[in-house]
Structure 1
Amino acid sequence: MNKNIIWVFSTLPNSASWEFYSHLFLKYSENSKLNIRCFSRNFPQNLSNVDVLILFGPSHDIAKLRAKKTNIIIGYLEPRAAQKNNYDECDFIIVNSIEAHDFFSSSEIPIFIYPTYPIINPIRKKNENQTLIIGYHGNKIHLDAMDNTVSKALSLLRKDIDFEFWVMYNIRNLGLWKSNYLHNVKVNHIQYDIAGYNKFISRIDIGIIPQLIPVKKNKILRWFIGSLESKFNERFDNFFHRFKETTNNGRAFVFAQFGIPIIADMTPSSCALIGENEYGFLASSEIAWYTALKILASNKDKRRIMGMKLKKRYERKWNPKKINKDFSDFISQVVEDKRTI
């Protein structure tokens, strides 16, 4: 069987997403229909043997690349609205979530959802100090954004239950996170490092995934964005969920690999993963976060069962072998369709 030769090139070699994607691509088995190589910094000039070229990051001259090989098939990996990528000149797009799939659907170009997350050889460690640990890993900005909901819920929970809050993020470059709404909670700040997943995240009892961007509860503002005379039954207590087009389940899949139960903001990706509180809990308001936290914090068996159900769901639907098999089929179909035109 002749394999389609795929080259993936990144102009952002230090990007966390690129690190995760390049590792996921390397998980291809020998019987895959694709032969994938990843490059960064120095772009390979000879494309004569390449069937498909996948680009990551901004600033790619796609017309120039097509001039080097007219029949080459070009895809864009994880385009972003903020980067203004010229993905519309490509033959296909790879995104990392339901949200991104919806955002880029207007291009009418084939789209594949390829989740990006760190692959871990999970070693679940016992919580040595026996104190309940609630944990977070990811961008510091999500910690800032959760102040009015999750931080308040954690403070409320601390009145009932003793626990520690462990947060792993890039302290070195972004500084220490401080919350105006987190009270009487012991916080363990951990510098992000790939080794930190097995060293620290593995010991967490409950994982949290804040994803929403705060929306001010201002009556005048909400009046301006509504219809005249509340034509659509608008009320001040309506839900306002704001999230980026790049919102995804990457942080959830880390917890899933360890079998750690999760609570997540109600974004489309989280809803698709968790369902009706079957594989974790969904929350939006302070009281919903508090309720979910208390249920899991108060019941060790509940945490174990829900965590294992999440892990099995991840292994069944989103493990690298399954995703790469689907991706291989997608690329093969794109290549076949282009060659028949």
Structure 2
Amino acid sequence: MSDSQRFVLNTRTPDSAGALVCIQSLGRLLNESGRSVTFGDWDNYNQYDVVIFMAHDAEIDKVRSQNPDIKIGIADPKPSDTKSPQQADFLLVSSIEQREVFLKYNPNIFVYYMFPDFSAERVVHTNKGFVTLAYHGNKVHLDCFQYHLTPVLNELGKRHTIRLKAIYNVERLGLWSHGRPDPDLCPVDDLQWYPDCYVNYLSDIDIGIVPQMSPFPVSMHAAKLFPLHYKRWLLSPLDHMSYYKSSANPGRIFVFGMFGIPVVSEAIPSTSSLFHDNINGLQVLTKEGWYDALNRLISSAHMRAELGERLYEQVVSRYSKEQTFQRFLSFLQQPLQQAIPDLQLSIRRNSDALFHDFVNKVKRKFFN
């Protein structure tokens, strides 16, 4: 890709978390690399070679009518709009999980880890008689605490003096109210997210928690009632049943890593690709896993310091903004891939057969 290419980056919500990374930060990196960058030009697409929109701002028909040769990118596409990703030339997504969902619409996808630009001094981990945990991200994960983390924090609060800082957009999403920990066992500070909040909020944090799952307990109850035996697969109450957002953002891990704060995260594909269990972080899948990992870190400042330092080294050595940016430039140089063939029909037929098999088993169990 030529250094002389002209970029325009457009969003109508420049202060949103996604736009700060995919528009503002990316634009600065493009500008610093010597490329021509314009923000917020909605009328002159014929003057540019590449345009990048945040998903909800895309106006692809208008762009194509003005400049059929321009390359169009969409950052952080949403499941509610599948037309724009199909029409775009490439997508920027936040994770492996999001990539896999959108491959059916567009095979030209770059995983652009979304975490903010900031400098931070690393936390010094000491035995101080109490431990402060922190969460930052979407409120949806806080609402899921009641299924896995809240009972864990309540039990840990009986053994240790702990506190949780919850950083999210309180003003926009409202106060977290469902399934909060017992305030006598694990007090919670609800902190308003803003673009530069991390330096102010995380400088005294001991442990970062990055929940990824959206627990669905009904599934496990169903598995216990109706163990399904098929020729090729088995659903058992002892199996793991994972359910997580397609827009899972592993960049939340990197924020803690910049401070040298050790992280406990649920093990989804992105987590497992970014750090290694018991080497530069701890990965869990169950309530018992959360309890074990947090209890070990709470009990050992040495372990917190060791894992936090290794996570910091991982972030700066492999996932810095500059390194990700260089990979992005290489991605733009690659020829566009053709759409993946429609694979839904055969899968749907197979799924229908399995479903009918399940219904027949239930009928025989309860009505025969």
TM-score, length-normalised on structure 1?
A: 0.88
161-170 or 217-226, which moves further after superposition? 217-226
1:15 deviation in Å? Answer: 2.6
Given residue 71 of structure 2, which amino acid in structure 1 is its aligned partner?
I
SS at match of 2:148: helix
Equivalent of 1:115 in 103, 113, 116: 113
Aligned: 1:7 with 2:8 = yes
Please give the per-residue CA displacement for 1:27-78, whole angstroms capped at 9, x wherever unaligned: 4266737433332xxx432233311112222363423311211211112222
SS at match of 2:242: coil
1:326 deviation in Å? Answer: 1.0
1:121 deviation in Å? Answer: 1.4
Cα RMSD of the aligned pairs, angstroms, is 2.7
Contact 1:122 1:198 (8 Å CA) reproduced: yes
SS at match of 1:301: helix
Residue ranges of structure 2 left out of the alignment (5+ in a row): 339-368
- Match in the other structure for 2:145: 146
28-37 or 211-220, which moves further after superposition? 28-37
Contact 1:27 1:320 (8 Å CA) reproduced: no
SS at match of 1:112: strand
53-62 or 209-218, which moves further after superposition? 53-62
287-296 or 179-188, which moves further after superposition? 179-188
- Match in the other structure for 1:333: 334
Counterparts of 2:335 and 2:218 in 1: how far apart (Å)? 46
1:170 deviation in Å? Answer: 2.0
- Match in the other structure for 1:134: 133
Given residue 53 of structure 1, which amino acid in structure 2 is its aligned partner?
V
Contact 1:211 1:243 (8 Å CA) reproduced: yes
SS at match of 1:82: coil
Counterparts of 1:270 and 1:2 in 2: how far apart (Å)? 34
Contact 1:98 1:248 (8 Å CA) reproduced: no
Given residue 150 of structure 2, which amino acid in structure 1 is its aligned partner?
S
Evaluate the alpha carbon distance shift between residue 188 and residue 127 of structure 1 in structure 2; reply closer, same or farther with a 3 A threshold.
farther
Evaluate the alpha carbon distance shift between residue 31 and residue 206 of structure 1 in structure 2; reply closer, same or farther with a 3 A threshold.
closer
- Match in the other structure for 1:62: 60
1:259 deviation in Å? Answer: 0.9
Counterparts of 1:232 and 1:242 in 2: how far apart (Å)? 18
Percent identical: 25
Equivalent of 1:71 in 65, 69, 72: 69
Equivalent of 2:80 in 82, 100, 105: 82
Given residue 300 of structure 1, which amino acid in structure 2 is its aligned partner?
A
SS at match of 2:25: helix
- Match in the other structure for 1:263: 264
Given residue 170 of structure 1, which amino acid in structure 2 is its aligned partner?
N
Aligned length: 334
Counterparts of 2:5 and 2:263 in 1: how far apart (Å)? 39
Contact 1:97 1:248 (8 Å CA) reproduced: yes
1:198 deviation in Å? Answer: 1.1
- Match in the other structure for 2:365: none
- Match in the other structure for 2:349: none
Counterparts of 1:150 and 1:99 in 2: how far apart (Å)? 22
1:280 deviation in Å? Answer: 0.6
Contact 1:6 1:35 (8 Å CA) reproduced: yes
1:334 deviation in Å? Answer: 4.3
SS at match of 2:264: strand
Contact 1:100 1:247 (8 Å CA) reproduced: yes
SS at match of 1:203: coil
SS at match of 1:134: strand
Counterparts of 1:257 and 1:176 in 2: how far apart (Å)? 27
Residue ranges of structure 1 left out of the alignment (5+ in a row): none
Please give the per-residue CA displacement for 1:186-209, whole angstroms capped at 9, x wherever unaligned: 222222223431112121000001
